[in-house]
Structure 1
């Protein structure tokens, strides 16, 4: 009885484990009845029919990352490049992914490799090196459409490494160096151009300010000469009036002024080493004294009121005015 009980207990445990199934989160199990797919078990606990149903495939429903092996691809301009990448996929239908394709990961990797050769082969090397985003977009569209019947969603495809041949790499390095040197020369030339323009603008402004200064100075000089000429004209007019009235002192003043101006001009001459004093200094002093008398007489005439005219008498004689 003891052996029978042990055997019965072992059989019950085996039967329990074969009937009760626990599916973890992120997984889905397919159920087969006599080898035929019947249903899919979601995460949680499920009970199968003993001796009739069994677990077929255990599918991973989380997003997965698959490597695309490195391969050599010939571009449109006959350049050989080495390309590899990665693809992000997620199983959306466990039954389709389990029963519509054998070795899902291998099939997706081969599909990516063939389409990668097609896309890169239709582009030139410069486009391949500069348009990775365009290549990724085209690959994603093709791979997603091809894996849809398998119940798989391609989320992203990225080119991980793209290596051109060594000679092309060296040529690209020389080209980049030449381009940078060209940019440096252009930048230096632009700087010299801007500096020359700035210097020219500064010289222009300085010339304009200098010309304006000369113009203002000339205007001031002309104004001063005009006022001096007006003053001299007024003085000449006064002396002429005095001469017309017969004033000898005015004539002496005019002659003395010309005499003194000529003597001063002769003394200021830088080539003149010896100044000869005229012998008629007494006459000059007399002339100056006469000028002084003329000035005093003018002052007296200004301060003395005019005298009334004399009245005539019957005999024709003049009657002196009364005080």
Structure 2
């Protein structure tokens, strides 16, 4: 009989204990109702309620939550039909207001987002809707956050998740994008050809300038070489003239022999000569040199001999006597 009374008593005590002692986990808040009326909010931790008088009313999630906005069709300002959906991030700030000022908080916020989304998107053209998502998000956030503030809810952000225009508009946009890409490609190609032509023209200009400078430098160096060659020839001629004046036969022989050899060399280099026969005996060259030497000796003796004075009336210019120099007896070249 004693056990029969103890077991119900223990069960009643456990039920009473669990109904009085409440443990609130982190990120949650419980509302307390006394005879159906809200009295206070329990923060995370352990709490003891008045038995049979107080009870937990609502268990509110105080963490940030993500709500899905269902897909809906919206008509834009330029009468284009688009499908729009999104997501909204909310956080309960006041547990009592969120519990007792609105029924089914998540559903209410979702419906509020859908209606405002139709309003915002409907006031814009299709191109603006597709290119100004940030503007749509900002406008929706401002409107919905103001509307949910009395509910004790803070809307953190709203994002447009998907925008789907009709198929025909999508195809037109694809063609437009393709045409724009082709236009950019043609412009880029033309610009490249222009730059290449400019580079080639600049290269040709630089090449012409360098070539003209090269010709100028070559002409200057050729002129300088000819000038130096002429100076050397003049010095050689002056030295030979001085040697002839003093009667140096060796210098005369060297000069004549050099010219003779140069003449044979030019004859051999002539493009019209296929065969050149050089005489085996160079006696003609020696004879020519000896004849020139004799001519020089005679000229010097005639200048050194004294002349008898003549009267002025009888002095008449005697005809000049010319003596032909001996010819060289060389054999002419034969083809």
TM-score of the two chains, using structure 2 as the length reference: 0.73
**1:253, 1:287 within 8 Å by CA — same for their partners in 2?**
no
Match of 1:203 in 2: 204
Q: Which deviates further from its counterpart, 13-22 or 171-180?
A: 13-22
For residue 90 of structure 1, give the secondary structure of its aligned residue in structure 2.
strand
Displacement after TM superposition at 1:264 (Å): 6.5
Match of 1:105 in 2: 106
Aligned: 1:234 with 2:235: yes
CA distance in 2 between partners of 1:254 and 1:9 (Å): 153
How big is the alpha-carbon RMSD for the aligned residues of Structure 1 and Structure 2? Answer: 3.6
For residue 49 of structure 1, give the secondary structure of its aligned residue in structure 2.
coil
Superposed, 1:1-323 pairs within 5 Å as: 7-238=8-239, 269-271=270-272, 285-290=286-291
For residue 153 of structure 1, give the secondary structure of its aligned residue in structure 2.
strand
Displacement after TM superposition at 1:192 (Å): 2.9
**1:29, 1:41 within 8 Å by CA — same for their partners in 2?**
yes
Over residues 127-184 of structure 1, what are the superposed CA-to-partner deviations in whole Å (9 max), with x where a residue is unaligned?
A: 2222223322322222222212111111221111111110111111112222222333
Displacement after TM superposition at 1:34 (Å): 2.0
CA distance in 1 between partners of 2:42 and 2:9 (Å): 29
Over residues 224-263 of structure 1, what are the superposed CA-to-partner deviations in whole Å (9 max), with x where a residue is unaligned?
A: 1112222333344455566778999999998888888777
Q: Which deviates further from its counterpart, 226-235 or 249-258?
A: 249-258
- Size of the aligned set, in residue pairs, is 293
1:289 and 1:53, CA in 2 relative to 1: closer, same or farther beyond 3 A? same
CA distance in 1 between partners of 2:225 and 2:107 (Å): 106
1:67 and 1:293, CA in 2 relative to 1: closer, same or farther beyond 3 A? farther
Q: Structure 1: state its 5+ residue gaps.
A: 296-323
Q: Structure 2: state its 5+ residue gaps.
A: 297-335
1:255 and 1:156, CA in 2 relative to 1: closer, same or farther beyond 3 A? same
Q: Which deviates further from its counterpart, 114-123 or 61-70?
A: 114-123
For residue 78 of structure 1, give the secondary structure of its aligned residue in structure 2.
coil
Q: Which deviates further from its counterpart, 110-119 or 3-12?
A: 3-12
CA distance in 2 between partners of 1:263 and 1:45 (Å): 132
TM-score of the two chains, using structure 1 as the length reference: 0.75
**1:33, 1:54 within 8 Å by CA — same for their partners in 2?**
yes
